Amino acid sequence: MAETVLKIENLGISFGGLKAVQNLNLEIKEKQLYGLVGPNGAGKTTVFNMITGVYKPTTGTFYLCGENLTGKSQETINHKGIARTFQNIRLFNNMTVIRNVMVGLHNQPEYKCGMFTSMLRLPRHFKVEKAMRQRAKEILEVVGLLEERNSLACNLPYGKQRKLEIARALATSPKLLCLDEPAAGMNPHETQELMDIIRLIREQFNVTILLIEHDMKFVSGLCDELTVLNFGTVLAQGETKEALQDPEVIRAYIGG
């Protein structure tokens, strides 16, 4: 039996009188590809914001590998091992592709280097920079952006910007990678490519992946398990095939 990576218990948040998410329970096993789907406004991104520390949940707790991270700051949660991408891409636009990834490597213990070491250009600084560049190149190769490493992040086409966000999140060596609509705005060819990349990432980086997506083909082709949300409550949960055939889910999506 695989180990539980993320465990969410009774998680909920309300903004004033609006209960955006209520009573969410889910458990993600190691190296699982877990999907979070639901119609617009169902509260999927809110769940992401809670487990990455942007919002503080009003009720409930969540654990990463058994450690309670509820209410911790974004930085701490990232250090503990949850990395995310954003629905509306947020890259460091004025920096090159490789340096975007190198920012992700910033907090890795093996690249530790004090401020004064850098200011005085001690040998350690050069060693660390070289190692970081090497590692960043390896990560970029996985997502297929090695060729573009010198261009500015804002000059990349949309699909590649999404891949770069994934690469940057991966650079923080997370245990759990949260992808917020990774395939949004991509054409079918790019979507297919992204599916392969996500599978490859899971194998190479030993990472558990939680993703939000609207593209049902993408979800059913990729995810092992699903949680379907509607108006902040869980509609269905379980194996992808079964969850998608649940009559409640079909009604929420198609109506009737």
Site residues (vs another protein, CB under 8 A)? 52, 54-56, 74-75, 78-79, 83-84, 86, 90-96, 98-100, 102-104, 106-107, 111, 113, 115, 118-121, 125, 128-129, 132-133, 136-137, 147, 149-150, 152, 168-169, 171-172
Under 8 Å between Cβ of 96 and 168:
no
CB of 40 to another protein, least distance (A): 17
Q: What's phi and psi for 47, nearest 5 deg?
A: -60, -45
- CA torsion sign for 163, 169, 174, 175 is negative
| Residue 52 C-beta: closest distance to another protein, Å | 6
Contact present, 77 and 174 (Cβ < 8 Å): no
Smaller CB distance to another protein: residue 155 or 206? Answer: 155
Rounded Cα distance, 118 and 125, in Å? 5
Q: Nearer Cβ to another protein, position 91 or 223?
A: 91
**45 alpha-carbon distance from chain centroid:** 11
Nearer to another protein, 93 or 245 (CB): 93
Give min distance, CB of 221 to another protein, in A: 27
CB of 49 to another protein, least distance (A): 8
Which neighbouring-strand residues pair with 180?
Answer: 212
Residue with tokens 């991966």: 170
Q: Is 220 exposed, middle or buried (0-12, 13-18, 19+ CB in 10 A)?
A: middle
Tokens 């190769």, residue located: 141
Between 63 and 111, whose beta carbon lies closer to another protein? Answer: 111
Closest separation between CB of residue 69 and another protein, Å? 13
How does DSSP classify residue 156?
Answer: S
Judged by beta carbon, residue 13 or residue 228, the one nearer another protein is 13
User: Shortest approach of another protein to residue 178 CB, angstroms?
Assistant: 10
Nearer to another protein, 1 or 115 (CB): 115
Phi, psi (deg, nearest 5) at residue 152: -70, 145
How far apart CA 128 and CA 114 sit, in angstroms, is: 11
